[in-house]
């Protein structure tokens, strides 16, 4: 049995994993860079160790992380999401050193991380994939020929890409020529690989993904779908479970496809199968993420299943704690990624010291974060600092609860995406459950909101006015 887990991550997901460990009676070990010394995840774990002064190097060094796990008596490593979570080398080293990796094995991570290989595996399993190149395109000339065969618009994608990086839409030959070297450069820097391939661009689809869990005893189950269509430049912002846009027949179909995809590669542990849903009602496999997702929270809210705990139990060799028939979605849940960005200034990052932080509460409201009043948000990592999750019995109740929760939340000292999300929730199309991946691009007016002054800003403005008057 697992007794002690090293959390190979930072921030809110590290806090989330530490909390699961505490409930299961397991000890947790956090790692942190100097920039993260005062992050909440350092305080929530039972033990914490500095992995160096460099902002990223420690989090990206699999040998050092496994060595630290062994030195501190850990028998398992949970990678969270991002960083090394989909790096097959970490899983491979864990196996060699006798440390359990809480995730799929290195072979599956490598297979599904290579998008062209993943496409082949899905086609063999009878899972529909987006029309595209048979494999990687070797040069610009081949890319141009494939694009002509497939038909514009096309998506030029990095084979090892993810998180919205290494991907460009090309509407014609001119744009493909302009973007080809850019995508290769971005892919090489971000993923260490220059391989790219081409897919047909499905214009303004719905982005639907399915959470699956699988154990080593052959049990595979899906926990229904999440709608991730509210996104900007391929970056998810708001996620919903289940999708208010699917019929019961579509829900059954996509769940079966996700289970089929997992079985095809002998998957084990938690994973997410992502699909595009066309306006004509066709599902196309996009990719499989071999880790826990940022948005796993909303699946937990509608099913009552703790996905992190299930991950740990699966890594111990236990069977799933439920059957497919026992999983039934209840109500709706929405997750808002609270980013320190200024939507009124082209989403420019807004890192700095938090002068005030207040998390929303009340029925059906959950906040996952690693920040607090006085915390200095480091500029070296992702701009997401919190996740606000709301649950309601109906779609209308869930939207209203989201409006109330975001209005309750207070983050001072930096700009955030909160007012932008409030505008989205007020939009009649969103309230009616009508949206696709082109929603934000079609509504640029959503960033034209008026900012409310925080109490600190109001006090400073009054003080400045008094000082100016006295001075005059």
Catalytically active residues are 291
Environment class of 269 (CB within 10 Å of its CB; exposed 0-12, middle 13-18, buried 19+): buried
Q: Are 357 and 411 in contact (CB under 8 A)?
A: yes
SS3 446: helix
Distance CA 225, CA 249 (A): 13
* Rg, Å, the chain Cα set: 23
DSSP calls for 403-429: HHHHHH-EEESS--SHHHHHHHHHSHH
Which residue from 31, 42, 25, 23 is spatially nearest to 6, judged by alpha carbons? 31
DSSP calls for 36-61: GTT-HHHHHSSEEEE--SSSSGGGG-
Please measure the distance between the N-terminal and C-terminal CA atoms of the chain and give it in whole angstroms: 74
Beta bridge partners of 209: 226, 274
Distance CA 46, CA 60 (A): 22
In the block, which residue shows the tokens 């970490």?
90
Which residue from 187, 147, 189, 190 is spatially nearest to 169, judged by alpha carbons? 147
Residues 6+ apart with CB under 8 A from 112: 118, 121, 265, 271, 287, 288, 289, 290
Distance CA 202, CA 179 (A): 18
The pair of structure tokens assigned to 313 is 């139990």
The pair of structure tokens assigned to 461 is 């403005």
355-382 exposure pattern, b = at least 16 Cβ within 10 A, e = fewer: eebebbeeebbbbbbbbeeebebbeebe
**Helices 395-408 and 418-426: angle between axes, nearest 10 degrees:** 150
The pair of structure tokens assigned to 447 is 């960033």
The pair of structure tokens assigned to 27 is 């000890």
């Amino acid at each position: 049995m697992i007794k002690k887990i090293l959390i190979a991550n930072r921030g809110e997901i590290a806090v989330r994993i530490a909390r699961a460990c505490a409930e299961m009676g397991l000890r947790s070990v956090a790692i942190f860079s100097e920039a993260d010394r005062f992050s909440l995840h350092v305080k929530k774990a039972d033990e914490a160790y500095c992995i160096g002064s460099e902002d990223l190097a420690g989090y990206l060094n699999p040998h050092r992380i496994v060595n630290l796990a062994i030195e501190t008596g850990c028998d398992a490593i949970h990678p969270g999401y991002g960083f090394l979570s989909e790096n097959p080398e970490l899983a491979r080293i864990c196996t060699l050193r006798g440390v359990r990796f809480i995730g799929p094995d290195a072979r599956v991570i490598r297979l599904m991380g290579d998008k062209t290989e993943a496409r082949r595996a899905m086609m063999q399993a009878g899972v529909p994939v987006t029309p595209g190149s048979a494999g990687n395109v070797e040069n610009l000339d081949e890319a141009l020929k494939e694009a002509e065969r497939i038909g514009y618009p096309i998506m030029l994608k990095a084979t090892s890409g993810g998180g919205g990086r290494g991907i460009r839409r090309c509407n014609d030959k001119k744009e493909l020529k302009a973007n080809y070297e850019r995508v290769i450069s971005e892919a090489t820097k971000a993923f260490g690989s220059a391989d790219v391939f081409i897919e047909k661009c499905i214009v303004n689809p719905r982005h639907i993904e399915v959470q699956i869990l699988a154990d080593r005893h052959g049990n595979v189950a899906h926990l229904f779908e999440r709608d991730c269509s509210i996104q900007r430049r391929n970056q998810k912002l708001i996620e919903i479970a289940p999708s208010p846009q699917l019929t019961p027949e579509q829900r059954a179909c996509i769940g079966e496809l996700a289970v089929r995809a997992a079985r095809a590669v002998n998957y084990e542990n938690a994973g997410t199968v992502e699909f595009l849903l066309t306006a004509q009602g066709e599902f196309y496999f996009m990719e499989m993420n071999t880790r826990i997702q940022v948005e796993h929270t909303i699946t937990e809210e509608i099913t009552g299943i703790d996905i992190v705990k299930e991950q740990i139990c699966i890594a111990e060799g236990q069977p799933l704690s439920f059957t497919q028939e026992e999983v039934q979605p209840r109500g709706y849940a929405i997750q808002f990624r609270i980013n320190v960005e200024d939507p009124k200034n082209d989403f420019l990052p807004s890192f700095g010291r938090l002068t005030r932080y207040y998390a929303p509460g009340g029925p059906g409201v959950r906040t996952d974060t690693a920040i607090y009043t006085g915390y200095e948000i480091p500029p070296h990592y992702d701009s997401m600092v919190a996740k606000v999750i709301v649950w309601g019995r109906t779609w209308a109740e869930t939207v209203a609860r989201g409006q109330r929760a975001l209005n309750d939340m207070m983050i001072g000292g930096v700009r955030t995406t909160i007012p932008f999300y409030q505008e989205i929730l007020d939009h009649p199309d969103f309230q009616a459950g009508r949206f696709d991946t082109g929603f934000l691009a079609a509504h640029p007016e959503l960033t034209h909101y008026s900012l409310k002054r925080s109490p600190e800003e109001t006090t400073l403005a009054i003080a400045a006015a008094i000082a100016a008057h006295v001075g005059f």
